[in-house]
Structure 1
Amino acid sequence: MRSPRRRPRIVPVVLCALAVLAAGPTDGTDEDDGSVPALGAHVARLYEDAARATQQYEDGRREAEVQRSKALEHEKRLDRHRQKIDSMHEDLGRIARAQYRSGGGLPLTAQMILADDPDELMRGQRAYSRADLAVSNAIGRSLRAEARLAADEAEAQAAWQALEERNAALAELKKQVEGKLEAARSRLEGQADASVAAGSCPGAVRLDQPYGRTGRSWVAPVEAYELSASFGSGGRRWANRHTGQDFAVPVGTPVRSVGAGRVVKVSCGGAFGIQVVVQHAGGYYTQYAHLAAVAVDQGDRVRPGQWVGQSGSTGNSTGPHLHFEVRITPEMGSALDPVPWLSRHGVPL
């Protein structure tokens, strides 16, 4: 199942993000020396870039929806203005027809010659003047309404164009982030496999780590995941039963210590590939296996949520994932079901 804990103008923001991502890694040595630690650092930094880009992407999507609502409101306003102008045109037609029927189009001199009652003529002339003023006012209102309509049509068109530009920029941003991560993950996985095959464990990836950012004593080993093989399940890859809980995540995903503790083992080779074991209070140990890179050394103290490595597919693995175990000794053979254990510590999966 999938974890529920996945976690001023957008065009300039997106374009700035694209420029940052296109500029490549912040430290040129990440990719130049070809070592697993350096490449792991590069992937970790790309994950940080991806996190920022994802936030910008989500902000942009929300802004796009706001812009879409504004554009739709412009369309509604245009419809209202069109209806008003149509109504004004109908009023003008009625006034013109009424003037024609009452002789309003006859010259005043001819009306005076033909009039039987001069007073009646003057009253008619005053009525005509009022009608003429009404026509002039109606024409003025119609012209102003048409000007507003033209302005609103231009504003609506600009809003839709801005929306299309934003969506295109967001799509390009997403494409670049995915492309950079995919390429770096592939290199990291290949170099980690080569390192394990040679029996030479990679050194720790030393980066600025998210110490204390969770505000909790216990956390899940990865932030976003799908649960795959569970504790006690059977399969051809295991001699007996599965001894941990697998988290399906892409290569290079930051792996976190679930709680405070001390690193008692960092090793590579064998069925677990590259692995880290952490000792916690109460006599419990947690294992993080099939890693592509490590971020700690044996003897290090770790805090809840601190990165201990990056996920991979080293050792006896058919695809990228984190194998997570809870034990009562640092060695295999003493594993507990990690799901209820984490749940008791306030971490439901």
Structure 2
Amino acid sequence: MRSLRRRHPLLISVLLCMCALVVARPAVAEGDHGGTGAHGIAGSSVRVARLYEEAALATRQYELGRREAEAQQAEARRLEGLLTRERARTEVLHEDLGRIARAHYRAGGGLPYTAQMLLADDPEELMRGQRAVSQADTAVDNAVVKSRRAEARLAADEAEAAAKWQKLERWNAELAETRRAIEKKLEAARWTLQGQADASVAAGACRGATRLDQLHRGSTRAWVAPVETYELSASFGSGGERWAHRHTGQDFAVPIGTPVRAVGAGRVVRVSCGGAFGIEIVIRHANGYYTQYAHLAAVTVDRGERVDPGQWIGQSGTTGNSTGPHLHFEVRVTPELGSGIDPVPWLLRHGVEL
């Protein structure tokens, strides 16, 4: 950028004016050269799609690790509870042993066994008492040994569970750091793609489709939502300063580069850029309705191409008359603006609840 400033001051002034329309956007990602040609847009589009997948995978791994760590914590707490109960049981056995010993002493246990027999009124009764005491002593001793073994085993299990939990915590920390690094790269790549899309729209030079065949996600369902993960924002018919009358579709708040899907099978009848909708796609479906996907940063299909439900047809952006990254989605009875109907109940009738 510094070399451009030295050699082309007029060009830099124009670029700065354009940048004023894009408030506080991150710098170009390392390795991207910001080209606005088909090759530059295609490279950024593929990079964003790849990083999107990597970020999603890292998030899934992190969530799995977090759930496993929670399970290990729960197991450690369970074992601690068992150990606590076992210790209480051992204390009771120790108290029982003390009572038996005291009773034994009061019954003459402090005297030699021969002396007890000489002094006893009924030697047979004494022998029966001695056998009972001996059996009780043996039972208590066995119980104490068993309790101590159980305590040692539970303590070892508890230590193992705690060690596994600590290992999982370290692994989760590493996963979280990996996820943050990927998301940082993804954010930079997203704005690089958006910058190229803005330049293409401003020049009125719509580029061809960027093929992401290896990343397409088909669906076993006949109808799907246009994006997988989203927050609903401006709804159909709502008012706003940026619309001449009323909002003509349903907005899905999603980051730049989010894969946009065909909601159902159909044929692409329009791929265009420029105007209020920026980069847009219109698809005609077999039931006679049309769906529009607007403010895109890139497209992955060409006009005349057939698409399947859930197929990636583009990547979301914020081109055209847009206040921020989102997908503008419309359902129309003709391919033209002004024939739109509320997309939410239309999708619901096709089994898609937003």
- Normalising by the residue count of structure 1, what TM-score does the alignment of the two structures yield? 0.79
Q: Once the 2 structures are TM-superposed, how far is the Cα of residue 126 of structure 1 from its aligned partner?
A: 5.4
Q: Once the 2 structures are TM-superposed, how far is the Cα of residue 175 of structure 1 from its aligned partner?
A: 4.6
Q: Which residue of 2 aligns with 1:143?
A: 145
- The reply on whether 1:220 has 2:222 as its aligned counterpart is no
Q: Deviations over 1:26-77 (max 9, x none)?
A: xxxx966762322222222233334444444444444444434433331232
Contact 2:58–2:178 under 8 Å retained in 1: no
- The reply on whether 1:273 has 2:278 as its aligned counterpart is yes
Aligned partners of 2:74 and 2:258: how far apart in 1? 37
When structure 1 is superposed on structure 2, of 58-67 and 294-303 the one drifting more is 58-67
Q: Which residue of 1 aligns with 2:101?
A: 96
Runs of 5+ consecutive residues of structure 2 not aligned to the other structure: 1-29, 35-39
Q: Once the 2 structures are TM-superposed, how far is the Cα of residue 89 of structure 1 from its aligned partner?
A: 0.5
Among candidates 313, 321, 324, match of residue 326 of structure 2: 321
Q: Once the 2 structures are TM-superposed, how far is the Cα of residue 221 of structure 1 from its aligned partner?
A: 0.7
Give the 4+ runs in structure 1 shifted more than 6 A.
none
Aligned partners of 1:164 and 1:82: how far apart in 2? 25
Q: Which residue of 2 aligns with 1:332?
A: 337
Q: Once the 2 structures are TM-superposed, how far is the Cα of residue 290 of structure 1 from its aligned partner?
A: 1.2
Is the partner of 2:301 in helix, strand or coil? coil
Contact 2:262–2:311 under 8 Å retained in 1: yes
How do 1:166-315 residues align onto structure 2 when only pairs under 5 Å count? Answer: 166-198=168-200, 199=203, 200-207=205-212, 208-210=214-216, 212=218, 214-315=219-320
Aligned partners of 1:91 and 1:252: how far apart in 2? 72
Aligned partners of 1:107 and 1:144: how far apart in 2? 30
Q: Which residue of 2 aligns with 1:14?
A: none
Structure 1 42/197 Cα, relative in aligned 2: closer, same or farther at 3 Å? Answer: closer
Contact 1:195–1:202 under 8 Å retained in 2: no
Q: Once the 2 structures are TM-superposed, how far is the Cα of residue 182 of structure 1 from its aligned partner?
A: 4.0
RMSD after superposition: 2.8
Among candidates 151, 164, 167, match of residue 165 of structure 1: 167
Aligned partners of 2:215 and 2:282: how far apart in 1? 18
Q: Deviations over 1:281-321 (max 9, x none)?
A: 24432221111221112222111111111111122211110
Is the partner of 1:266 in helix, strand or coil? strand
Q: Once the 2 structures are TM-superposed, how far is the Cα of residue 171 of structure 1 from its aligned partner?
A: 4.9
Q: Once the 2 structures are TM-superposed, how far is the Cα of residue 228 of structure 1 from its aligned partner?
A: 0.9
Q: Deviations over 1:100-157 (max 9, x none)?
A: 1122122345556xx256x844653553354234324312321221121122022123
Aligned residues, how many?
A: 316
Contact 2:240–2:246 under 8 Å retained in 1: yes
Structure 1 106/269 Cα, relative in aligned 2: closer, same or farther at 3 Å? Answer: same
Structure 1 284/93 Cα, relative in aligned 2: closer, same or farther at 3 Å? Answer: same
Aligned partners of 2:270 and 2:130: how far apart in 1? 102
Q: Which residue of 2 aligns with 1:77?
A: 82
How do 1:10-159 residues align onto structure 2 when only pairs under 5 Å count? Answer: 35-111=40-116, 115-116=118-119, 120-121=122-123, 123-125=125-127, 127-159=129-161
Structure 1 54/187 Cα, relative in aligned 2: closer, same or farther at 3 Å? Answer: closer
Task: Supply the AA of the counterpart residue of 2:255.
Answer: P
Q: Once the 2 structures are TM-superposed, how far is the Cα of residue 323 of structure 1 from its aligned partner?
A: 0.7
Aligned partners of 2:186 and 2:88: how far apart in 1? 58
Is the partner of 1:74 in helix, strand or coil? helix
